[in-house]
Structure 1
Amino acid sequence: MAKEILGEEITFAAPDGWTLAGSLFRGENPTTAILISAGTGFPRRFYKDVAQYLAQRGAVVLTYDYRGIGGSGAEDLAASGIDYPDWGRLDMPAAVDALEQACPDLQITHLAHSVGGHFIGLMPNHNKIRRHAFASVGVGSWMYHHKSYLPTEMYFWWGLGTYCLLRYGYIKPLGGWQGEALPPELFKTWRRWSNRREYFRSDYDGKLAGHHYDQVDAPIKSWIFPDDPIATQPAAESLLKSYPNAKQQIVMRSAKDIGVSRIGHEGAFRKGREELWGEFWDWLSKP
């Protein structure tokens, strides 16, 4: 049995001075460095098992919390002013630099879950990443999702979301929302994009002005799962259009393929998915 690798708790600063929390997992004789970027509302601890697995295979792995999430939280979330693009422009680049500082002799690769694959084109240092593995990454527009999921989305956007904004000033984990609390501006941006077929591309000349999406050329391999109602194949294909100059491949894996009963939108990172994690490793460690 492989030796358990415990994460070293670190902090590092985003360009605007916001303190971000991370966990660094260092394998023996590492050959590559892997950044794990979370989905919306998922704290870095959710990715501990896959990070340990990759470190045991021979990587230095950094998990981290975006501002407003987990260990990178805000004292007053309602008044924090945190918006979705901040995660891509400020937090993700800072995480890359922190990983580079921890292992300057290793090339950096990237494992992205959900929104973790959305904002690479906002990163001024995106070219430090050699390749990307996407898991359950697709546009958030409801028009590309399973039709059976639409009532859940409408309830979240206009029912629970509206109530939380009026009652608390931010999105609180209640009423079915199992993720971390979310800042109000971020939620409203997410909700607006979710009702546009082009999703965040509709804001290329607005909130995302000055982006680098057409400059990203690191290859992307995107894993999607039939029982994921959000990152469907059409949603994944639409998202990949945001990176027109990156070599791309979509891989479909069912729960049966890897010997589990369910994957869904978050299950690729839960225990028992080591066969899938091995595929991530093979791609990310590729010379």
Structure 2
Amino acid sequence: MNPIIHETEHRFDARDGYSLAGLIIAPPTPKAAVLISSGTGFPKELYRRIARQGAAMGYACLLYDYRGIGGSAPSQMKGFAADIVDWGRLDFSAALDQAQALAPHGPVFTLGHSVGGHLPGFADNALLPAAHAFVCTSTGYWGAHEPSYRPSALFFWLVYGPACLALKGHIPSGGLWSGTALPRGVFEQWRDWAFKPRYFGDFLHELGPHAFDRITAPITDWTFADDTLASQRAAEDLMALYTAADKRLLRLAPAEVGAESIGHFGAFKQAAAGFWPRPFSWFDEVAAGLNPGGPVSDAVSTPAP
């Protein structure tokens, strides 16, 4: 018998009052909460399937769109000011508080895709989560991508993106960019970091307060062998920025989760349903360690509908 899962649209304010679009997917009585943070340009709806899996395993999940993305986009993108640090410092921090409130008596965890795994380090409440699950999280340094992907990355940074900014004032959806429209500031900051071998690692102090060296909650990053953007090297470089955490990097073949291919964002599509329980099963293990002798899990291991 499938558990009852509720889905509720939820708007809330970022740290500076900017209105963000969210979606709560949860069982009636959650045992813990999970904040699910998107990759760059991916709307929250991409993560609905894995959130339903989490809800089936007892977790209240909050999905949300960063400012400038999806349901949190302005009516006019040209001239809209936002960057990736804003996503972490203003949006992620507020969303984490919202997620914690969904299960106030249980722990809160994060599940971040790609840039969603960068944001905890910029949050003012970064020490709140009990663990962080990353999926395809890595630096975006172009030289750390797999060789086959590097020409495409350079074309995007040096030709396509600048042309879009000159013509539109932002990166529109469509063409060579398959995600949602991106604000100018997001593209320019991302591009700046992409040409530095340690990404933002060498100048974190210039970006303001951060917690990359203070987060001690365990981190697991699942990447996939056919992801040419989040290569093994790029994933290791990003994980190295979380200097105080107990870290684990797992690189899987798509066949290990029942898929023919996954790439950078296929882990959240139906073909990769075999992957969805893994982060939540790991959260169960972490929660059991927080509460020795307590119930480990009432998890549903099969993919949720």
TM-score (ref. length: structure 1):
0.96
Gapped regions of structure 2 (runs ≥ 5):
288-305
Corresponding residue number in structure 1 for 2:268: 269
Letter in 1 for 2:201: R
Q: Does 1:213 align with 2:202?
A: no
CA distance in 1, matches of 2:137, 2:224: 10
How is 1:67-78 mapped onto 2 (pairs within 5 angstroms)?
67-78=67-78
* Residue-by-residue CA offset, 1:65-96 (whole Å, 9 max, x unaligned): 00001111122222121011000001001001
How many residue pairs are counted as aligned between the two chains?
A: 286
CA distance in 1, matches of 2:248, 2:127: 19
Corresponding residue number in structure 2 for 1:127: 127
* Residue-by-residue CA offset, 1:264-287 (whole Å, 9 max, x unaligned): 000111113232112111112222
How is 1:40-55 mapped onto 2 (pairs within 5 angstroms)?
40-55=40-55
SS in 1 for 2:278: helix
SS in 1 for 2:173: coil
Letter in 1 for 2:275: L
* Residue-by-residue CA offset, 1:9-52 (whole Å, 9 max, x unaligned): 00110111100110001114321111101000000011011111
SS in 2 for 1:213: coil
SS in 1 for 2:137: coil
SS in 1 for 2:148: helix
Gapped regions of structure 1 (runs ≥ 5):
none
CA distance in 2, matches of 1:205, 1:215: 14
CA distance in 2, matches of 1:285, 1:92: 23
| Percent identity of equivalent pairs | 38
SS in 1 for 2:275: helix
Corresponding residue number in structure 2 for 1:241: 240
SS in 2 for 1:140: coil
Q: Does 1:230 align with 2:206?
A: no
Q: Does 1:39 align with 2:27?
A: no
Q: Tell me the C-alpha RMSD between the 2 structures.
A: 1.3
CA distance in 2, matches of 1:253, 1:23: 29
TM-score (ref. length: structure 2):
0.91
CA distance in 1, matches of 2:4, 2:114: 27
